[in-house]
């Protein structure tokens, strides 16, 4: 066990040093949700009184969706980096080392969690400037859910990138999954505004329940079955993603 933690820390330090040498990527990763916040958010303030719109300030509806979006998409594209590492021989050198295979992915995911947390704090700070007002414990839970999602998608992205070993194959897969997640999770607009058949379809999307859970949290309605469901799904996804990612790394030595 101590070897696992030591190896994970070594991989994490290497990854965080590389990220610190290119801090611009942290800003670039944050640019999309900031643009949504600035250019799309004000439109929702005009819709807040419409029938079917969730109760509360429009920012209490929109910002939770942006945090979920940041967690999902912030982790989904890291697979491009591991394809580059595989092509440059970094992965092969790590595979012949005595390092734990699980540590090779955990260390990288730890780096992604740190980057996402920084981005989430910056996004939340910008949202406060636009008019968001939530208790600190609600914001902390929002960042926690974002981190859980980011870690899950990071592990899956590394697994997919290492399995495919091709940007031409990896990019269409990410985009194919990203679009329905974005449209059916209510990230941009609450699904309560959708027609009945679309609401039924969105109920099959687990990320919709996470967005809804976070909106309850931001309204300070924490002890709610929807919140427990959303966080439970996030934890289950993280466990599954960690298992898949570890299996893919282990198969590279066979």
Alpha helices (H) along the chain: 2-20, 24-39, 41-45, 58-76, 79-87, 90-95, 101-130, 136-164, 167-184, 196-203, 206-218, 225-251
Which of 187, 217, 186 lies closest to 203 in space, CA to CA? 186
pLDDT score for 103 = 87
State the pTM of this model: 0.88
Mean pLDDT to the nearest integer, 9-25:
84
Mean pLDDT to the nearest integer, 163-184:
86
pLDDT score for 229 = 94
How confident is residue 194, by pLDDT bands cut at 50, 70 and 90? confident
Cα 23 to Cα 19, 20, 112, 123, 232, distances in angstroms: 6, 5, 13, 16, 33
How confident is residue 227, by pLDDT bands cut at 50, 70 and 90? very high
Residue 153 pLDDT exceeds 90: yes
End-to-end CA distance of the chain: 23
Question: Do residues 152 and 234 touch, judged by C-beta distance below 8 A?
Answer: yes
Average pLDDT, the chain: 86
Task: State the total domains in the chain.
Answer: 1
Q: What are 21-48's pLDDT values in tens digits?
A: 777 777 777 787 888 888 877 777 766 6
Q: What is the phi/psi pair of residue 129, to 5°?
A: -65, -30
Identify the domain containing residue 61 by its residue range. Answer: 2-251
Q: Which of 33-42, 150-159, 166-175, 191-200 has the highest mean pLDDT?
A: 150-159
CB proximity list for 240: less than 8 A, separation 6 or greater? 152
Residue 2 pLDDT exceeds 80: no
pLDDT score for 95 = 81
Residue 99 pLDDT exceeds 90: no
Q: Cα–Cα–Cα angle for 66, 70, 108, nearest 5°?
A: 165
DSSP 191-250: GGGS-HHHHHHHHT-HHHHHHHHHHHHHTT--S-HHHHHHHHHHHHHHHHHHHHHHHHHH
Residue 11 pLDDT exceeds 70: yes
Mean pLDDT to the nearest integer, 127-148:
91
Question: Do residues 11 and 107 touch, judged by C-beta distance below 8 A?
Answer: yes
């Amino acid at each position: 066990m101590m070897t696992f933690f030591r190896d994970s820390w070594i991989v994490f330090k290497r990854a965080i040093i590389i990220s610190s040498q290119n801090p611009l990527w942290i800003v670039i990763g944050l640019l999309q949700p900031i643009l949504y916040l600035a250019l799309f958010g004000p439109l929702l303030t005009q819709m807040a009184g419409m029938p079917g719109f969730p109760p509360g300030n429009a920012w209490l509806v929109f910002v939770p969706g942006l945090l979920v979006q940041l967690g999902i998409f912030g982790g989904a594209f890291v697979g491009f980096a591991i394809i580059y590492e595989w092509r440059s021989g970094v992965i092969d050198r790590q595979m012949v080392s005595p390092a734990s295979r699980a540590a090779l992915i955990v260390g990288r995911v730890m780096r992604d969690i740190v980057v996402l947390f920084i981005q989430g704090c910056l996004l939340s700070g910008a949202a406060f400037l636009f008019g968001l007002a939530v208790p600190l414990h609600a914001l902390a839970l929002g960042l926690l859910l974002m981190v859980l999602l980011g870690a899950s998608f990071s592990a899956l992205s590394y697994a997919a990138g290492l399995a495919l070993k091709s940007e031409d194959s990896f990019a269409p897969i990410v985009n194919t999954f990203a679009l329905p997640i974005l449209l059916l999770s209510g990230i941009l607009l609450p699904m309560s505004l959708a027609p009945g058949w679309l609401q039924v379809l969105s109920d099959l999307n687990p990320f919709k329940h996470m967005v809804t859970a976070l909106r309850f949290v931001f309204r300070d309605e924490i002890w709610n079955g929807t919140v427990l469901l959303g966080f439970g799904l996030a934890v289950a996804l993280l466990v599954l993603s960690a298992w898949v990612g570890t299996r893919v790394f282990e198969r590279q030595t066979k």
